[in-house]
Structure formats: C-alpha cells, structure tokens
Structure 1
Amino acid sequence: MTVRAESSSLLRSRLAAGTAFFVQGLLFISLTTRLPQVQEKWSLDELAVSGLLLMVVLLAGVGSVVAEVVAARSSSAVVVRVGLVVAAVGFAVLLVAPAFGVFVAGLAAYGLALGLVDASSNMQAVTVEHLYRRPILPSFHAFWTAGGILGTLVTLATSSVELGPALLPLLVLPLAALAAPFVRRDRLAESDATVDVPWRKIALLGIAMVLFYMVDTAATTWGPVYLGGTLDAPSGLTALATLPYLVATLLARAVGDRLVDRHGAVWLLRISGVVAALSLAVIVFAPSWVVAVVGFTVLGGAVATIAPLSFSAAGAIAGGEDADTAGERIDKIDQVVARFNQFNYVGALLGAVLTGAVGSDNLRLGFAVPMILILGIIPLAAQFAIIRRRGVAAGSH
C-alpha cells in the first residue's frame, strides 16, 4: 500500500471512529436534556427519575463488559455496529412507548447500548491512535462533545415538541453510521503471546477518569439546578450551565492534540487540575448566576482533555511503549479499554450522588466536593508520561 493510500485509509478510520463518538453524544444529550419532558409525560418524581438514571448507568456498565467479550471474539468494529443498532432500537422504543413499562424497556436497551458504544468507540480510537503513533484521543472526544452540542441545540429548537414519534428523525444518524469504515482487526498483526498488563498503573489512571466524570456529571446534572434554584437565574436560561460548558469542552479538545504534542500530557493535566479547582471555586462562591456561568465555561475547558488522555495512557500501557509492536497486542488493548471504561460510570455515579447528597440543602456545598477532589489530578499527572509525543520517545517528558 502506498503512503498516500495508507494515509487516506487512516483518515477514513479516524473519521469513522469520530462518527461513533458524535452519534453517542447526540443521543445521550438529546435524552438528558429532555428529562423534564420524560418526567412530565410519565408523571415521575425526582426519586423515580434518579432510579431510571441509575438503571441506565448500571446497564451501561454491563454493556461495557459485554463489549470486552464480543470484541475478543470478533472485533471492536462489530461491537460498535451492534451498539449503534441497539441504541437506535432502544431510543425508538422509548419515544413511541404506549405504556410506562415499554418506555422502561426501551430505556434499558439504550443503557446497554450506551456501554457497548462507549467501550467499542474508545477501542477504535485507541487503535487508530496507535496507527497514527501520536496522541489524537482528545479530537475523538471532541466529536462526542460536538454531538452533545447539536443535541442541546435540537432540544432548544424543538422544546415545544412532545416526546414522541416526531423525534424519530434523530435516529437517521446512528443508522447511517453503520456504513462507516471502522478499523478492522486485520489491519493489525495478532499474537497469541500472553501479555501481562500492569493493572496498578491503569488503576491510577482510572482514578483520574473518576475525578473527571465526577466533575463532568456534577456540572451537567446539577449545574442548571444550581443556577435556577440557588442563584435565581431565569428559567429559560438555566441551560447556560451546560451549553457554554460543552462549547468550551469542544474547543479545548479540538486543540488538545496539539497541546499534548507541544507540551506533553503531564504539563497539560497539571494545569488542568489547578484551573479546574479555581473555576469550581468561582462557581461555589459566585455572587450571581452570571458569574457562575463564567465558572462553568472555564471548567469545561479545564477538564476537557482528562478523559481522552486517560484512555490514551491506558492504551499506551496495554500496547507497550514500542509503537512498532503495539499492533501485536490489540486484543489486550481492547480488553484494557473495555475494563477501563468502567471508571466512567463510577465517576458518573459519584458526581450525581455526592454532589446532590452533600448539596441537598445548599448546592454551593455540593460543588465544593469536586472543587477539592479535582486537585487529585495534579499528583496523578505523572502517570501520563507514557503518552507519546511526535518525535519524542515515550516516557521521556
């Protein structure tokens, strides 16, 4: 294969994986931004909604485990396509459900698909990054954020549309994504050799993932409630806790590849920890909702690269520091990524539960929890030295 053909093939694989991230973000945010409609349609109280969200998170964890098993027997390309189909079916069922039990069944199917696509799309991203031999994970997660922004804008534009069949056109994208040229296992050499994975190192990276998703879930779940309930923002503007946060996240992830390439992941994550803590302090002590929105916006940019760099570092450890032999360990990389994805849901539960429980009387106290804990990123940053910079040997920075 010529250099130009190889480059074109890599680009197609990169865009394919990015498409999976985009669709995942679109569907997830389209659902979460319509939770008030779900609550109203089925006459649910806050406890019932929390129970449904807990079901989704737990089933997503199951889906991530299933992704590991299926990917080992076939490939992550198969898993991501299966996940997209299940997500589309589940989403369609919950939209057209004639009874609450049917709605719950559709939501359950979507939760399972959430884990399947989360794990397999990150497997695809880590594999493509190894083929590129330089850090590009932040740009993949930027696709997710772009999908989330589109989902938010669609919800705002169709706020008067009831939860139902009118929203089925959203499913065109996940079905169209099935045709994307996801990277196949035969692109990489396979080996029957048993490879020991340093799970302790990966667990330390997982703590960073937990910290990120704790902050991310707290911001996206409780941010609008904080603006409206604690800071008396106009009801039509409470979404400003989420939209600017997502936009800042997208911008930071879009330039994240270049920042890592230039300064290294360790430097970037130490800066992220400091800025994130300061922006959360702005949120906690905000005298008005306008100031809090500024804090949420800066927070989105500060924490944006933690999750993608965590996956990148975990993949680098699983694949070995020698990029030339990483392809021989693709099975182990997929296994590590699938298991590593579980930290996502631990962080999401902590973000929703800890912030809400501590802030049950005053959400300022609730946001003080991630304000303190996110500082843990600073000492953990040293674990990310394995991430390869273009032209720099792994671990040398």
Structure 2
Amino acid sequence: MTEALSFGCRLNAAESEAMRALAPGAGWAGALLVNTCAVTAEAEAQARQAIRRAHRADPARPILVTGCAAQVAPAAWAALPGVARVIGNGAKLDPASWDAPVGPIPRGAPVVAAASGGTRAVLAVQQGCDHACTFCVIPRGRGPARALPVAEAASRAAALAERHREIVLSGVDLASHPDLPGLVRAVLRAAPGLARLRLSSLDPAALDERFWAVWAEEERLAPFLHLSLQHAEDLVLKRMGRRHRHAGLLALFRRARDLRPGAALGGDLIAGFPTESEAQHAWLEQFIAEAGLAFAHVFPYSARPGTPAARMPALPVPLRRERAARLRAAAAASRARFLRGRVGCLEEVLMESDQRGHSAHLVPVALAAPRGALVRARITDTDGATLRGEAA
C-alpha cells in the first residue's frame, strides 16, 4: 500500500493525500511518499529521520521525496538512503512529470489538491508566494503565486460538500488569491448544504474592504481568522519584511470582532528573530494579551540558508527557545481567557468521534453525540485548552 508522511502545513497534507492516490497509476504502488517542509531546520531534520527509519525498516521499499525542502536542495535529499526519486513541488500533482529533474516552478504549475479525511476536507485553491519576507525560503520552495479559478474551485468544493460538513480553503498565501471574497461567496452558493467554510492562514496586510464585507455577511464562513502575524513590534516587523504594523493589527482585530463578536483570532509568531531585544520580545508578549489571541502557533526563529535574515546578528539558540516558551505560556493564558468566555454559550459542534468534536472557532469540545453530526450544544465548562458541552 502506498503511504505518505507529511511535514509542515495543511497544504502539504492535502497534496500528500492527492499524491498517494496518484502514485499507483504512475507505477509507484507501495512506495513511501515523504512531503518535506523547509520552514524550520527542525522540520527538515524530522523528515530526514523519518526517511532513514523507513529505509532501515524496509530497505527494498522505494521512497519518493517532495516538498519545499526537497525543492530547495534536491541533491541533498536524493543522497539519503532509499530515496528513489526527488519530485519538484511544481510536478508533485502531475505524475507524468515525476521523472523530470527538479527545476524552477513555473507560474502555470498545478494548484489544486484536496484531502478528505473525517468530517472536514481541505481544498488547496492557491499556491506560491510573491513576497520577500527576510526569514522565508517558501517562495523558492513553492514558486510564484498562482490561484485556482473561482468557478473551478467552487465546483470542486461542491463535490467535497457532498461528503463533508466543513471545508477549509487553503493556500501558501491564500489572501493573494485574485478574488478571495468572490471565491468564498461562490463556494457557499455552490454548496448550499455545507455547514461551515473555514479559511487557512491569511496575510493581514491583504484583507481589503471586500473581504470584510464577506466576513460580516456570510454566516457559514467560520468566525475564525488564522493570521500570518510573525511579530507585533514595528522595527522587528520591518526587519522581517512584513507589510503590517502594530497599530494596524490592533485595528484589524477590533474590526473583525465588531463585525463578528466572539470571533477566534490568532496566528503564527516567531520568537527570537535576529536583533530582537528583550524589550521587543516583551512587546510581543504583551500583544498576545492586548489582542486577545484565541490561539498562537509559536516557533523559535530558525535561520534558513540564503535568506537575508540568516545574515543578521543571531540570538543564541537557548534564548530563542526560552522566548518561545514564554510566548507559548502567554498564548495559553490568552486562550484560557477566550475559552472561559465561551462557557454558557451555545455552539455548533461538528463531531469527529462519538465523544469529541470542534466548534466553529476550531476549539475541541468534549460532547457525546454521533460522529459526523452537527450538534447545537451549550458549553458547560473548560479546562483552559478545550471545552465541555451538553446537547441543547
């Protein structure tokens, strides 16, 4: 049986599922697919370890390697034991091109991939990135920004909605889709039975008036924003090459909550970026509480070869890890405050098992109900990380 190991983002997971389905027809039945991530050195190390373990367990099994790390340094991955093929990110969804050498990703490379596990489906509608954040190699790994046309995306979403109650629209830089607001409306029109549409990570600098109209008007669009924040102190953001600033983030958070009271807002944060002072880190810690983040994905800064940030004065690794731990503690406290605010509320819970589901805010809810059901529940308690509810 063809298996896939996916590292990194939700988009990688969707692509891995698509590749797993394509592999037998391409002559790779029984192979192991490894979809790598280049965001951090740790993610790369985990993928290398997985390849070595798999080869030791079954030396005869061919291993196909793809993903951003493999795109950036194909020769290094091809040299690992058991690797039969390194497949470029631009070819991973086109089996006819799996034998081609890894090369630059063209603007016309395939975009769409879908993962259909459980009650929720992930649909990739955008690929690549045209920005130049100083810490990031993803533009080299994913190529230029490109998007699935609205009509095709809506059609694919409608097909997924026949089997799933929730769909996540995903992309490398989803907010760069030429018509994200129109896409959201088209998907919801094409799938009238879909209970919930969710968006993956968004660049806060790209959210325009049309987006806010959709956010306010479309009730089936989940009240959940995962934002590519990275930091909140202006000088650090400038050195990162980010396009937003602290005041703009706070204004965005206020607007999102004014239009959708109780919305869950959060995103990605980098701890210990080069030159970050203790005062700048404290500013970011304070921002977590100031903005009322419902969740945060915290990463210690990881230098990526060839990026401008890798040439900046770096902080010691132990200090980066210590600051990441402080951010995680601040984020956990902020999440607990958000969850305490949901106690007594009515939530629509999409059941992933007969004992557990998730709310529209993507919060786990302990609840007894049939798997796949959409249950209206009153929240009775929280442990600070999850909610507990009873069918209303």
Higher strand content, 1 or 2: 2
* TM-score greater than 0.5 by the shorter chain: no
Q: TM-score by structure 2 length? A: 0.28
Greater RCO, CA 8 A, separation 6+: 1
Q: TM-score by structure 1 length? A: 0.28
